[in-house]
């Protein structure tokens, strides 16, 4: 054997040794994380409620800040649903021989049969609500779709599972992405996905390991350059409910549907407020609450919540409103309004500020006696501005303020000072002064009797809840 052959044999033996080392001795890279457990949790969640004929299921959905709560009850072959949103409450009874709608908005309520209502928009609304009940066929379809998405890479599940707690319930949080960007036109058609709709959704679900109950769902997506958020929170679930379905007996033809349609118009106003941000958003909710005389909308007014409630007091004269106010200054203002509106001085004892307490005693005197409300102060607070009594060498005076700007109360009342453009009839507010256009005069003077308030508005309305099915883990 010559030297060359010996070298070749030596090299071969060395390569074999290296291969053996790499295969059996050298540390191996860890295997890719297994997403199987997370997929198993998702599959379990999809089938929650399958085969259940009687149940109570309650949850809250929030879409870009707008929330609605749903109570679903299935019992003895009948179904009933209650929907609560910031404006109204509705019940729907799906009976063996009828569909009954009950609607309550403002001071109007009624129940009507809607089984013969053929309006296309209303039929779509009914279908969206019915889809929230558990349905075996829909669950099977969803499971098939989910498996298809996973197999074709349209649904990617993270292997990470986090221990969480939702409303006191321990659960395992999984996350996954649904991305339809690379779907063929045939696949888009098959699954009812529009090419112009959002294509990617990032999901998080917190699932009970033993039961599969989803305690929370959340997904986000981007559409036309804007980020959107959707959330589901489970409020309660019972597979053996004691509640019974008791359909209403006194039905009024067409009334509930009319209430529903009217409420829909106000829902458009409400939802427009969610599109605003910051102080503009708070003011939008506060103004809508005043227009509808609905305290519940004040809860959406953020930093203007307490001020919003005070603005309602002169119209509602409900002393329970004052107990809801957190800010001490606005709480005092609330009792001032109650005392003045009811001509009842006992409310004045609830006021902490001595100056406001004295003013309260003055305006609570019946109108046929001495003492009248301060119209400049009433004007200030009716506009939704903060009101404060100050003092100097000349005595006490009131100040109206908004957004860091101030006006003496009587200067605002006479139009000599302004805080917003609405203080200048036909003009604009620049540096606290009403600028008058050449075509007319602009003043901020209050030509309305300060003791008068807006006439009662009696609209009804409807909310446009979108259908995110109850049994759908993917929305």
Distance between CA atoms of 305 and 295, rounded to whole angstroms? 9
Name the strand (E) or helix (H) holding 71. Answer: strand 66-75
Interhelix angle for 328-342 vs 354-363, to 10°?
A: 20
Distance CA 42, CA 61 (A): 20
- Contact by Cβ (8 Å): 437, 424: no
Span of 19-28, 55-64, 97-106 with lowest mean pLDDT: 19-28
pTM above 0.85, yes or no: no
Residue 34 tokens read as: 């297994």
Q: Which residues of 70-100 are buried (b: 16+ CB within 10 A; e: fewer)?
A: bbbbbbeeebbbebbbbbbebbbbbeeeebb
Q: Which of 83-92, 259-268, 362-371, 452-461 has the lowest mean pLDDT?
A: 452-461
Mean pLDDT of 199-208: 96
Q: Write down the pLDDT at residue 199.
A: 92
Mean pLDDT value across residues 85-107: 94
Mean pLDDT for the chain overall: 84
453 pLDDT more than 90: no
Q: How far apart are CA 233 and CA 240, in angstroms?
A: 21
Give yes or no for a contact between 252 and 114, defined as CB atoms under 8 angstroms apart: no
Q: Is the pLDDT of residue 438 over 80?
A: no
The band of 15, judged by pLDDT with boundaries at 50, 70 and 90, is low
C-alpha separations of 247 from 79, 103, 111 in Å: 10, 13, 10
Residue 397 has what pLDDT? 76
What letter does residue 154 receive in the DSSP assignment?
A: S
Does the pLDDT of residue 462 top 90, yes or no?
Answer: no
b/e burial code for range 192-222 (CB count within 10 A of at least 16 → b): eeeeeeebebebbbbbbeeebbbbbbbbebe
The number of residues in the chain equals 475
* 468 in Cβ contact with 71 (< 8 Å): no
d(CA 42, CA 141): 15
What span, in angstroms and rounded, lies between the C-alpha atoms of 304 and 316? 18
Query: Residue 16: pLDDT band by 50, 70, 90 thresholds?
Result: low
Location of structure tokens 């009812």: 192
Please give the pLDDT value at position 7. Answer: 53
Domains of the chain: 46-238 (2.50.20), 277-371 (no CATH), 374-452 (no CATH)
Q: Which residue has the higher pLDDT, 223 or 377?
A: 223
Q: Give the tens place of pLDDT for each residue, 278-315.
A: 999 999 999 999 999 999 999 999 999 999 999 999 88
| CA distance readout (Å), 29 to 26, 33, 202 | 10, 12, 29
- Which one-letter DSSP state was computed for residue 51? T
H or E stretch at 405: strand 405-408
């Amino acid at each position: 054997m010559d030297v060359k052959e010996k070298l070749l044999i030596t090299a071969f033996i060395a390569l074999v040794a290296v291969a053996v080392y790499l295969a059996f001795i050298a540390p191996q890279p860890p295997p890719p994380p297994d997403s199987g457990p997370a997929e198993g949790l998702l599959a379990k969640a999809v089938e929650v409620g399958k085969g259940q004929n009687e149940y109570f299921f309650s949850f809250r959905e929030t879409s870009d800040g707008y929330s609605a709560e749903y109570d679903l009850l299935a019992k003895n072959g009948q179904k009933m649903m209650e929907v609560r949103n910031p404006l109204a409450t509705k019940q729907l009874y799906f009976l063996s021989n009828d569909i009954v709608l009950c609607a309550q908005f403002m001071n109007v309520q009624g129940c009507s049969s809607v089984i013969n209502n053929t309006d296309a928009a209303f039929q779509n609304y009914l279908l969206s609500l019915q889809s929230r009940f558990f349905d075996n066929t829909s669950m099977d379809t969803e499971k098939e779709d989910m498996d298809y998405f996973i197999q074709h890479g349209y649904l990617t599940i993270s292997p990470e599972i986090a221990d969480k707690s939702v409303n006191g319930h321990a659960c395992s949080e999984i996350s996954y992405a649904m991305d339809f960007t690379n779907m063929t036109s045939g696949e888009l058609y098959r699954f009812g996905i529009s090419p112009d709709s959002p294509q990617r959704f990032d999901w998080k679900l917190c699932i009970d390991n033993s039961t599969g109950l989803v305690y929370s769902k959340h997904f986000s997506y981007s559409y036309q350059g804007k980020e959107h958020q959707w959330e589901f929170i489970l409020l309660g679930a019972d597979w053996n409910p004691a509640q019974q379905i008791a359909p209403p007996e006194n039905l009024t033809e067409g009334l509930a549907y009319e209430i529903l349609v009217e409420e829909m118009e106000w829902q458009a106003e409400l939802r427009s407020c969610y599109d605003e941000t910051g102080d503009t958003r708070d003011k939008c909710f506060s103004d809508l609450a005043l227009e509808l005389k609905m305290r519940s909308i004040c809860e959406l007014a953020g930093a203007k919540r307490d001020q919003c409630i005070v603005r309602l007091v002169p119209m509602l004269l409900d002393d329970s409103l004052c107990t809801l106010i957190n800010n001490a200054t606005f709480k005092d203002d609330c009792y001032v309004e109650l005392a003045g509106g009811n001509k009842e001085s006992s409310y004045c004892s609830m006021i902490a500020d001595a100056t406001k307490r004295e003013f309260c005693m003055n305006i609570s005197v019946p109108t046929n006696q001495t003492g009248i409300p301060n119209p400049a102060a009433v004007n200030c607070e009716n506009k939704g501005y903060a009101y404060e009594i100050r003092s100097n060498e000349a005595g006490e005076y009131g100040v109206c303020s908004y957004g860091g700007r101030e006006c003496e109360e009587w200067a605002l009342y006479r139009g000599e000072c302004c805080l917003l453009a609405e203080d200048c009839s036909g003009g604009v507010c620049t540096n606290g002064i009403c600028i008058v256009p050449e075509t007319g005069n602009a003043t901020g003077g209050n030509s309305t009797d300060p003791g008068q308030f807006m006439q009662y508005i009696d609209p009804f309305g409807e909310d446009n809840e979108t259908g995110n099915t109850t049994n759908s883990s993917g929305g």
